């Protein structure tokens, strides 16, 4: 089975930024693939090139075995897109908007059915301008789904949404996949990537820096747990690195973040070092390793403020 989405050696430079700098990706049929990275990593440029909305400086893109140059209209019938920041017409109702989008496709879902599936039926006759953030986003996804696409592209689908709306959206994506659909999404939420995606590509400065399933990627850390702590005064990096079970150190806020194999061994060792150095421990917390920790270990920066 050929890849549903594939691109080779994709490049897009803007006047001062290399937004995408030699990217290869392939997404298999029925897969949910995540592009993960901080703001400005080139995620949106990448997804818009794949969506045929931006043309790359160089590189090839194939979607469903078709290319944008030769088969644009055919492709548009078969993919659904939700852009990062579309403001749909505020004066139209939810139903009017969806029926408008439905009219562009030769075949597709019934708007009424789709509204019910996405729990928007109560808002059927409400103006788009009066919807909450979560409802608007669900409508945006409804517009992407109304042509019964084979592939769904979602650019930061849950950014700025409350937890409940985020869960509703995840549920919609999962139901689309159960029907055999392929999804490509960008996100800067680690939790979203871990929960939704079969495979994740971590991108930074237009480069691919890691690729794999979420457990595989986390395994790359060679550490199961992460300790974050601050002390007064701050310890020297060499001192922290010298802790036996420490697999890696990164700056974290005013203190350090260390990746460890075993909390049971590392925490007493850390306390010992703190006492020996005669500094005061201000805060200490631990968590299981996540994709976010991987990003920090790969780039030395944190995702949210990178």
Q: Which residues bind other proteins (CB under 8 A)?
A: 51-53, 73, 76-77, 81, 83, 85-89, 91-92, 96-97, 99-106, 110-113, 127, 143, 147
Minimum CB–partner distance for residue 53 and other proteins (Å) = 6
Minimum CB–partner distance for residue 103 and other proteins (Å) = 4
Minimum CB–partner distance for residue 72 and other proteins (Å) = 9
Helix, coil or strand: residue 163: helix
Nearer to other proteins, 149 or 255 (CB): 149
Nearer to other proteins, 100 or 251 (CB): 100
Minimum CB–partner distance for residue 274 and other proteins (Å) = 52
Q: Where are the alpha helices (DSSP H) in the chain?
A: 43-50, 68-78, 94-103, 111-117, 133-145, 163-178, 190-196, 214-219, 237-241, 263-277, 291-299
Length of the chain: 306
Minimum CB–partner distance for residue 86 and other proteins (Å) = 4
Rounded to whole angstroms, how far apart are CA atoms 200 and 214? 6
Asked if residues 172 and 141 have their Cβ atoms less than 8 Å apart, the reply is yes
Sort residue 122 into left (φ over 0), alpha (ψ -120 to 50) or beta.
alpha
Rounded to whole angstroms, how far apart are CA atoms 287 and 260? 10
Nearer to other proteins, 57 or 232 (CB): 57
Nearer to other proteins, 34 or 108 (CB): 108
Helix, coil or strand: residue 292: helix
Nearer to other proteins, 54 or 269 (CB): 54
Rounded to whole angstroms, how far apart are CA atoms 95 and 121? 9
Nearer to other proteins, 21 or 96 (CB): 96
Minimum CB–partner distance for residue 73 and other proteins (Å) = 6
Between the two ends of the chain, the Cα-to-Cα distance in Å is 37
């Amino acid at each position: 089975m050929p890849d549903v989405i594939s691109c080779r050696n994709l490049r897009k430079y803007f006047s001062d930024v290399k937004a995408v700098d030699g990217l290869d990706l392939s997404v298999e049929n029925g897969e949910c693939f995540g592009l993960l990275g901080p703001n400005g990593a080139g995620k949106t440029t990448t997804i818009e090139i794949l969506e045929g909305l931006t043309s790359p400086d160089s590189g090839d893109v194939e979607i469903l075995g078709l290319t944008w140059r030769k088969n644009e209209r055919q492709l548009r019938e078969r993919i659904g897109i939700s852009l990062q920041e579309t403001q749909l017409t505020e004066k139209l109702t939810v139903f009017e908007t969806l029926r408008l989008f439905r009219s562009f496709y030769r075949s597709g879902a019934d708007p009424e059915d789709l509204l019910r599936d996405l729990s928007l039926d109560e808002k059927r006759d409400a103006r788009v301008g009066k919807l909450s953030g979560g409802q608007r986003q669900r409508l945006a996804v409804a517009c992407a789904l109304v042509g019964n696409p084979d592939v769904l592209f979602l650019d930061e689908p849950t950014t700025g949404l409350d937890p409940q709306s985020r869960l509703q959206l995840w549920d919609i994506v999962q139901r689309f996949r159960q029907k055999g659909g392929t999804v490509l999404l960008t996100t800067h939420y680690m939790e979203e990537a871990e929960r939704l995606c079969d495979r994740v590509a971590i991108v930074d400065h237009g480069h691919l820096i890691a690729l794999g399933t979420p457990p595989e990627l986390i395994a790359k850390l060679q550490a199961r747990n992460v300790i974050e702590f601050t002390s007064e005064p701050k310890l020297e990096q060499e001192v922290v690195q010298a802790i036996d079970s420490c697999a890696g150190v990164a700056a974290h806020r005013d203190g350090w973040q260390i990746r460890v194999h075993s909390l049971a061994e590392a925490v007493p060792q850390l306390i010992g070092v703190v006492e020996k150095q005669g500094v005061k421990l201000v805060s200490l917390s631990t968590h299981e390793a996540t994709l976010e920790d991987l990003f920090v270990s790969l780039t030395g920066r944190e995702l949210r403020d990178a």
